[in-house]
Amino acid sequence: MAVSATKVVVISIFLILGMVLAGVLMQPEASLQAWDVKESSFPANESQKEKLAFLLNYAILAPSSHNSQPWKFNVTNDSILVFADESRWLQVADADKRELHISLGCALENLIMAADHFGYNSTVTYFPGEKDLAAIVRLVPASSSSADPRLFPAILSRQTNRNLYEPRAISDSDLESMKSISSDADNSIFVTSDLATKKSFQDLTTRANVIQYSDADFKSELGHWIGQGVMGPRGVQAIMAQLAVVFLDVGPEQTEKDAQLINSTPYLGFISTANNDSLSSVKAGRTLERFWLCATALGISLQPMSQALETAQIRENLSGLLPAQSSMKEVQQVFRLGYAKPAPEHSTRRPLADVMITDQ
């Protein structure tokens, strides 16, 4: 018996509604509540362990690729262990785990800024050997702070700004401030307004978009994170956006949007390292976050742009955009920098309880 076209349409509508409903019901708990953390809630009269655990409220406000928040923490009486949560690794977009490690570095930097603010000196041991353990932060009560006082408050106002940026120049002193606050021996920061560099970066981003949006696995992974409601739209809107990314050809639209974003930006920033390994990426993440916090304190917006880095055959061209004399040729992260209208709202975070490893 032939099924009529009307029946096919009705069944399809029910199937799509079913998928949307299932998607919404399966969305994990994530909210904006994490941004309401108050300094006055620091448990000054509680145990050392509870005081250290409080610092995690600031670590989890760090940026991460696709807002994947690929971290877990174990708090002891004098240390915080920072683990990679590999179940949240973007296996397609981030095959070499560069972004996972940069994200961990960003969370580590927030943690160290918060520790300094609440009276602790920190010493970091990277990759001490245990599986997935990226760093151990030993915390010792201290009588004075060593961090720039503008950075800690910026943790609460930092956000990724995907708006068009104004053509307005950033003063030399502000550019110098951002660079000197975050530069160190392990990383190089290059900020440029050179038009030819912007054009080359735009071309590389376009080529990367073409490759990524013709890859079903990439679209499926991106769709998964959009559908989790952590990358802007939430609820039903997130599932509809997921379906659009997975089933429609959104590549050309994204390419056009990225071209406009890069065209509008007065500056591009590059963080690079000498080596291409996990340790270099974690340290680059710390640098990115310190730079971003300083930019935030100065009222300057930032958006990482990773497409060209996520595509192996495109990534190798990026080092050609760095100054010829640079000895640090491994580009870890590229970002847009400039003045812009604020982003509409913060992005969501998982509840703190979900990222804490508790000893049974």
Ligand X SMILES: Cc1cc2nc3c(=O)[nH]c(=O)nc-3n(C[C@H](O)[C@H](O)[C@H](O)COP(=O)(O)O)c2cc1C
The residue among 55 and 302 lying less far from ligand X, judged by its C-beta, is: 302
Among 34, 42, 58, 67, binds ligand X (CB under 6 A): 67
Minimum gap (Å) between residue 344 Cβ and ligand X? 10
Indicate whether 162 belongs to the interface with ligand X (CB under 6 A). yes
Closest CA to 283 of 139, 189, 187, 188: 187
347 binds ligand X (CB under 6 A): yes
Contact between 345 and 163 (Cβ < 8 Å)? no
Which residues partner with 272 through β-bridges?
Answer: 188, 331
Which one of 23, 63, 229, 338 is in contact with ligand X (CB under 6 A)?
63
Sheet order of strands, 188-192 included: 188-192, 267-273, 330-338, 301-304
Candidates 79, 122, 160, 187; binder of ligand X (CB under 6 A) is 160
Size of site (CB under 6 A) for ligand X: 19
212 binds ligand X (CB under 6 A): no
Residues within window 99-128 making contact with ligand X, judged by CB under 6 A: 99, 102-103, 106
Pick between residue 79 and residue 272 the one whose CB is nearest to ligand X: 272
Q: Which stretch binds ligand X (CB under 6 A): 212-220, 236-244, 245-253, 299-307?
A: 299-307
Q: Compute the distance between CA of residue 73 and CA of residue 237 in angstroms, rounded to an integer.
A: 31
Give CA–CA dist 73/97, Å, rounded.
19
Contacting residues for 160 by C-beta, under 8 A, at least 6 apart? 63, 302, 303, 304, 343, 347
Residue 298 CA to residue 182 CA, distance in Å, equals: 14
- Tell me the three state secondary structure of residue 122: strand
Among 70, 223, 304, 338, binds ligand X (CB under 6 A): 304
The residue range among 9-17, 98-106, 174-182, 269-277 that interacts with ligand X, by the rule CB under 6 A, is: 98-106
In the block, residue with structure tokens 């309401």? 36
Q: Give the one residue of 64, 110, 212, 301 binding ligand X; rule: CB under 6 A.
A: 64
Q: How far is the CB of 134 from ligand X (least distance, A)?
A: 14
- The smaller minimum CB distance to ligand X, of residues 64 and 206, is found at 64
Neighbouring-strand partners of residue 138: 79, 123
In whole angstroms, give the CA distance from residue 352 to residue 80.
14
Footprint of ligand X (CB under 6 A): 63-67, 99, 102-103, 106, 159-160, 162, 231, 303-306, 333, 347
